[in-house]
Amino acid sequence: MSKSVNRVRAALEAAGLEPKIKETGGSARTAAEAASEIGCGVDQIAKSIIFRRESDGRAVLFLTAGGNRVDAAKASALAGADLGKADAELIRQQTGFAIGGVAPVGHLSPIDAWLDPRLAEFDVVWAAAGTPRHVFPIAPADLSRLTGAAEADFVR
């Protein structure tokens, strides 16, 4: 397994969870692709959306249901600053993951995070596990606990 997947596995184990990382047969780079590969609804995919906080240049994380889109104004209000596009270098530097496989856990550096309340409507959601082909199931409460993500309204 890749170093990225191993970091996700280690983060889950350190939190007392049994890692059930699954390698998909095809791409799980988008929420629609992941849902198709797993056989679940698109909103059961916990997308890791990364922005660059303009005030300090740090990445911030918004975990949203696969069918939802982040509202820039709401997200900026939560982050306490204007948000811009996070480029691949910033994402890799702070999280250790490449775009398309950013996991919500196992980051190289701490990251401020918020959680879409829609995810809490499911018993289990699926998130990227460090590559565009690896995913893992997790209870939304565990996802919030592991990421430190505050539940908040930031979607359109």
Q: What is the DSSP letter of 96?
A: S
pLDDT in tens, 15-36: 999 999 999 988 898 999 999 9
- CATH code for residues 3-151: 3.90.960.10
Structure tokens at 107: 């980051």
Nearest to residue 137, comparing CAs of 67, 62, 44?
Answer: 44
Q: Where are the domains of the chain?
A: 3-151
Place of tokens 């999280």: 95
Nearest to residue 102, comparing CAs of 125, 119, 127?
Answer: 127
Q: How far is Cα 115 from Cα 123, in angstroms, rounded to an integer?
A: 15
Residues in the chain: 156
pLDDT in tens, 35-92: 999 999 999 999 999 999 999 999 999 999 999 999 999 999 999 999 999 999 999 9
Res. 131 pLDDT band, cuts 50 70 90: very high
Structure tokens at 45: 């995919």
Q: How far is Cα 113 from Cα 104, in angstroms, rounded to an integer?
A: 9
